Amino acid sequence: MKTLLLNTKANFSFSEDVDFFVITLNANQIEKIKKLAAVLTEQGAYSIEYFDNDGKYFSILEVQEILDELNIDSEDLTMEKINQCKNPTPSTIMELNMVKVYTDGFRFSAVKKHTDDKYISTKVFLKELDNEETLDVLEF
């Protein structure tokens, strides 16, 4: 299992309602990403995308509320812990959740429901999947 707390960026500059994407990848998801990256390298392709509805998008305030409620640091955050909160559902509903795999990494994206506002996470390099420590952008 590998938990990722990643920054997100919108396809427009004035949005501030989605700041982070949180997901806990299981062994099957990690293996799938690594296999797809290997196929891309073998075939000389750039990227491939697939649907994946795991993970949640949050504002910075929502993340801080979760950390305060659970009384944990951000590096201890997991999807399991988020789901134990009083209100584990983000205020912003996303759809068309995708994982985009590259030869050297991957990222997540989604569209805010009923809009054309697309949010994209920071890229995660494949080497980050080789340990179980949380990848936490709040620690940088």
Q: What distance lies between CA 26 and its chain's CA centroid?
A: 13
How is the chain split into domains, by residue range? 2-130
C-alpha distance from residue 55 to each of 39, 40, 44, 95 (Å): 25, 24, 29, 12
Q: Tell me the C-alpha distance between 8 and 22, whole Å.
A: 10
Q: Is 55 left (phi over 0), alpha (psi -120 to 50) or beta?
A: left
Q: pLDDT digits over 71-86, tens only? A: 988 888 878 888 888 7
User: In the predicted model, what is the mean pLDDT of the chain?
Assistant: 86
Over the stretch 7-41, which tens digit does the pLDDT of each residue have?
888 877 565 677 888 888 999 999 999 999 999 99
**Can you give the pTM of this predicted structure?**
0.85
pLDDT range class, residue 140, cuts 50, 70, 90: very low
Top pLDDT among 95 and 137 is at 95
Please name which of 101, 84, 116 lies closest in space to residue 10, comparing C-alpha atoms: 116
Q: Work out the average pLDDT over 78-106.
A: 86
